[in-house]
Amino acid sequence: MIRRETWQAWALLLPALLLLVAFTHWPAVATLIDSLYTTPRGSRPPRFIGLENFASLLDDRVFWTALRNNFIYAAATIPASVILALLMALAVNTALPGRPLLRMAYFTPTMLPMIAVANIWLFFFTPDYGLFDQVAGLFGLGRHNWLGDSATALPAMIVVAVWKEAGFFMIFYLAALQAMPPDLREAADLEGSSRWNFFRRVTLPLLMPTTLFVLVNAVINAFRLVDHVVVMTRGGPDNATTLLLYYIYETGFRFWDTAMAATLTVVLLVLLAALAWLQFGVLGRRVHYR
Amino acid sequence: MSTTQSTGAEVRLIDVTRSWGSVTALGGVSLHVRAGSFCVLLGPSGCGKTTCLRIVAGLDSATSGRVEIGGRDVTALPPAARGVAMVFQSYALFPHLTVEENILFGLKARSVPAPERGRRLARAVETLGIGQLLARRPGQLSGGQQQRVALGRAIVAEAPVCLMDEPLSNLDAQLRAEMRAEILGLQRRLGITMLYVTHDQTEAMAMADQVVLLRGGHIEQDAPPAELYARPATSFAAGFVGTPPMNLLKLAPDGTVAGAGGPVLGEGGARLAGIRPEALRVGETGIPVRVTHAEYLGADTVVACQAGESRVLARLPGRAALAAGTPLHLAADPADIHLFDAETGARIATRDR
- What is the full DSSP assignment across B101-147? HHHHHHHHHTT--HHHHHHHHHHHHHHHT-GGGTTS-GGGS-HHHHH
Averaged over B267-274, what is the pLDDT? 79
Which residues of B fall within a CB distance of 8 Å from A186? 57, 59, 79, 86, 88, 92
Contact A69, A241 (CB under 8 A): yes
- Is B255 part of a structural domain of the chain? yes
pLDDT of amino acid A126: 81
Closest chain B CA to residue A286:
B96
Compute the half-sphere exposure of residue B301: CA atoms within 13 Å on the CB side of its CA. Answer: 18
Selecting from 3.30.230.10, 2.60.40.10, 1.10.3720.10, 3.10.28.10, what CATH number does the domain A49-286 have? 1.10.3720.10
Lowest mean pLDDT across A64-78, A220-234, B76-90: A220-234
A101: distance to nearest CA of chain B, Å? 24
- B223 and B271 part of one domain: no
Do the Cβ atoms of A205 and B96 come within 8 Å?
A: yes
Averaged over B138-156, what is the pLDDT? 90
Please state whether the peptide bond connecting residue B138 to the residue before it is cis, i.e. omega within 30 degrees of 0. no
Averaged over B149-169, what is the pLDDT? 91
Q: Which residue among B230, B245, B272 closes a domain?
A: B230
Candidates A187, A197, A205; nearest CB to B88: A187
Closest chain B CA to residue A181:
B92
pLDDT, averaged across chain A = 86
* pLDDT-derived band at B6, boundaries 50, 70, 90: low
Do the Cβ atoms of B109 and A188 come within 8 Å?
A: yes
Contact A179, A207 (CB under 8 A): no
Between A and B, how many residue pairs show a Cβ–Cβ distance under 8 A?
66
Averaged over B266-282, what is the pLDDT? 85
A143: distance to nearest CA of chain B, Å? 52
Q: Are strands B161-165 and B84-87 parallel, antiparallel or unpaired?
A: parallel
B18-37: pLDDT as tens digits? 998 888 888 889 999 999 99
Q: Domain of residue B189: give its range.
A: 11-230
Q: E strand or H helix at B181, and its extent?
A: helix B173-190
Q: What are phi and psi of A169, to 5 degrees?
A: -70, -30
- B297 and B216 part of one domain: no
**Whole-number Å distance between alpha carbons of A184 and B205:** 30
**Whole-number Å distance between alpha carbons of A67 and A65:** 5
Which residues of A fall within a CB distance of 8 Å from B85? 190
Report the DSSP beta bridge partners of residue B312: B305
* pLDDT-derived band at A34, boundaries 50, 70, 90: confident
Report the DSSP beta bridge partners of residue A135: none
Highest mean pLDDT among A145-159, B72-86, B337-351: B72-86
- B213 and B270 part of one domain: no
Which residues of B fall within a CB distance of 8 Å from A179? none
Contact B325, B318 (CB under 8 A): no
- Is B117 part of a structural domain of the chain? yes
Do the Cβ atoms of B106 and A181 come within 8 Å?
A: no
Three-state SS at B216: coil
- Is B110 part of a structural domain of the chain? yes
Say if B106 is an interface residue toward chain A (CB within 8 Å).
yes
pLDDT of amino acid B350: 66
Q: What percent of chain A has pLDDT over 90?
A: 22
Q: E strand or H helix at B193, and its extent?
A: strand B193-198
B90-103: pLDDT as tens digits? 999 999 999 999 99
- B133 and B27 part of one domain: yes
pLDDT of amino acid B55: 93
Q: Which residue among B199, B230, B261 closes a domain?
A: B230
A55: distance to nearest CA of chain B, Å? 48
Q: Are strands B64-69 and B84-87 parallel, antiparallel or unpaired?
A: unpaired
- Is B3 part of a structural domain of the chain? no
Candidates B81, B88, B106; nearest CB to A183: B88
Which residues of B fall within a CB distance of 8 Å from A191? 80, 105-106, 109-110, 153, 157
Q: What percent of chain A has pLDDT over 70?
A: 98
Domain of residue B239, CATH code: 2.40.50.140
B215-247: pLDDT as tens digits? 999 999 999 999 999 999 999 999 999 888 999
**Whole-number Å distance between alpha carbons of A286 and A53:** 39
B90: distance to nearest CA of chain A, Å? 8
Compute the half-sphere exposure of residue B145: CA atoms within 13 Å on the CB side of its CA. Answer: 16
Strand order from edge to edge, sheet including B218-223: B84-87, B161-165, B193-198, B38-42, B210-215, B218-223
Say if B83 is an interface residue toward chain A (CB within 8 Å).
no
C-alpha distances in Å from residue A229, one per residue of A133, A240, B15, B267, B297: 21, 11, 67, 94, 80
- Is B29 part of a structural domain of the chain? yes
C-alpha distances in Å from residue A248, one per residue of A48, A49, A156, A264: 21, 20, 21, 6
**Separation of CA A273 from chain center:** 14
A40: distance to nearest CA of chain B, Å? 57
Averaged over B157-173, what is the pLDDT? 89
pLDDT of amino acid B40: 94
Whole-number CA gyration radius for chain B: 24
For residue A13, pLDDT over 90 is answered with yes
- Is B254 part of a structural domain of the chain? yes
- B43 and B170 part of one domain: yes
Specify the amino acid at residue A94.
T
Taking residue A164's Cβ as centre, other Cβ atoms within 10 Å add up to: 22
Between B83 and B269, name the one with better pLDDT: B83
Give the dihedral sign, CA B230/B232/B236/B240.
Answer: negative
Q: Which residue among B187, B206, B230 closes a domain?
A: B230
- B52 and B165 part of one domain: yes
pLDDT, averaged across chain B = 88
B172: distance to nearest CA of chain A, Å? 23
Contact B260, B328 (CB under 8 A): no
Say if B86 is an interface residue toward chain A (CB within 8 Å).
yes
Averaged over A227-245, what is the pLDDT? 83
Which residues of B fall within a CB distance of 8 Å from A197? 109
Closest CA to B160 of B1, B11, B3: B11
* pLDDT-derived band at B198, boundaries 50, 70, 90: very high
Candidates B80, B96, B139; nearest CB to A189: B80
Say if B79 is an interface residue toward chain A (CB within 8 Å).
yes
B62-71: pLDDT as tens digits? 899 999 999 8
User: Into how many domains does chain B fold?
Assistant: 2
A65-90: pLDDT as tens digits? 999 999 999 999 999 999 999 998 99
pLDDT of amino acid B5: 45
pLDDT of amino acid A232: 83
Contact B151, B186 (CB under 8 A): yes
Whole-number CA gyration radius for chain A: 24
Which residues of B fall within a CB distance of 8 Å from A190? 57-59, 79-80, 84-86, 106
Candidates A186, A194, A288; nearest CB to B59: A186
Do the Cβ atoms of B92 and A183 come within 8 Å?
A: yes
Between A104 and B93, name the one with better pLDDT: B93
Strand order from edge to edge, sheet including B271-275: B247-250, B271-275, B337-341, B347-348
**Domain locations in chain A as residue ranges:** 49-286
Which residues of A fall within a CB distance of 8 Å from B105? 188, 191, 193, 201
**Whole-number Å distance between alpha carbons of A243 and A68:** 8
Q: E strand or H helix at B314, and its extent?
A: strand B310-317
- B199 and B253 part of one domain: no
A10: distance to nearest CA of chain B, Å? 38
**Whole-number Å distance between alpha carbons of A220 and A240:** 21
- B148 and B41 part of one domain: yes
Candidates B85, B95, B139; nearest CB to A190: B85
C-alpha distances in Å from residue B293, one per residue of B244, B249, B284, B317, B322: 14, 18, 21, 16, 8
**Whole-number Å distance between alpha carbons of A64 and A58:** 8
Averaged over B282-307, what is the pLDDT? 89
For residue B194, pLDDT over 90 is answered with yes
Q: What are phi and psi of A2, to 5 degrees?
A: -85, 135
Closest chain B CA to residue A196:
B109
Candidates B59, B84, B92; nearest CB to A181: B92
* pLDDT-derived band at B51, boundaries 50, 70, 90: very high
pLDDT of amino acid B353: 44
- Is B58 part of a structural domain of the chain? yes
Contact A103, A92 (CB under 8 A): yes
A182: distance to nearest CA of chain B, Å? 9
Three-state SS at B95: coil
What ipTM did this prediction achieve? 0.81
The set of residues, in sequence order, having a beta carbon less than 8 Å from that of B172 and lying 6+ positions away, is B143
Residue to mutate among A185, A186, A190, with most B CBs inside 10 A, is A190
- Checking phi first, is residue B211 left (phi over 0); if not, alpha (psi -120 to 50) or beta? beta
Report the DSSP beta bridge partners of residue B251: B257
- B298 and B331 part of one domain: yes
A191: distance to nearest CA of chain B, Å? 4
- B274 and B300 part of one domain: yes
- B226 and B239 part of one domain: no
Do the Cβ atoms of B80 and A197 come within 8 Å?
A: no
Burial (0-12, 13-18, 19+ Cβ within 10 Å), A81: buried
Say if B105 is an interface residue toward chain A (CB within 8 Å).
yes
- What is the full DSSP assignment across B267-309? -SSSEEEEE-GGG-EEEEEEEEEEEEEEEE-SSEEEEEEEETT
- B216 and B261 part of one domain: no
pLDDT of amino acid A290: 54
* pLDDT-derived band at B252, boundaries 50, 70, 90: confident
- Is B4 part of a structural domain of the chain? no
